[in-house]
Amino acid sequence: MDQAAADRAREAINRRGQVISIRRMTKTTPQTVASRADLKATVRNYTPDELVKGITAGMRLITVSKLELAAKGFPIPPVKGDRIYLGDAFVTPTTIDTVDPDHREYQGCYELRTTGS
């Protein structure tokens, strides 16, 4: 990770992103929130021409800053099964399907593919 690039990416996400809530749940029933961070991220839906094998309607690509996650005290890296809530008052639940730590590693970001409402 290049620190200058990571700082620029963090600033860009904070300038253009939307607030999300990422939560790690306990593994016991009933599930409760073990860790939570509310932070800005870029969120985009896949376009119809991107819907290929393994990508379906309703999936989103979310980019979050490692620096911002660490600053908020969330355990990194995010993992499959962590929940991300979107929208006003975090009413749209999604679940992380895949975490790509390498694609934007130079910029100090994670790319998360989520499914949900």
Mean local confidence (pLDDT), 85-96: 89
- Is 90 exceeded by the pLDDT of residue 59? no
Residue pair 94/114 in contact by the 8 Å Cβ criterion: yes
Confidence of residue 73 (pLDDT cuts 50, 70, 90): very high
- Domains delineated in the chain: 3-116 (2.40.10.270)
Confidence of residue 16 (pLDDT cuts 50, 70, 90): very high
Cα–Cα distance measured from residue 22 to residue 66, given in angstroms and rounded to the nearest whole number:
13
Phi-psi region of 81 (alpha: psi -120 to 50; beta: other; left: phi over 0): left
SS3 state at 2: coil
Residue 26 burial (CB count, 10 A): 11
Q: Output phi, psi for 79, to 5 deg.
A: -130, 160
Mean local confidence (pLDDT), 37-52: 77
According to DSSP, the residues that pair with 72 across neighbouring strands are none
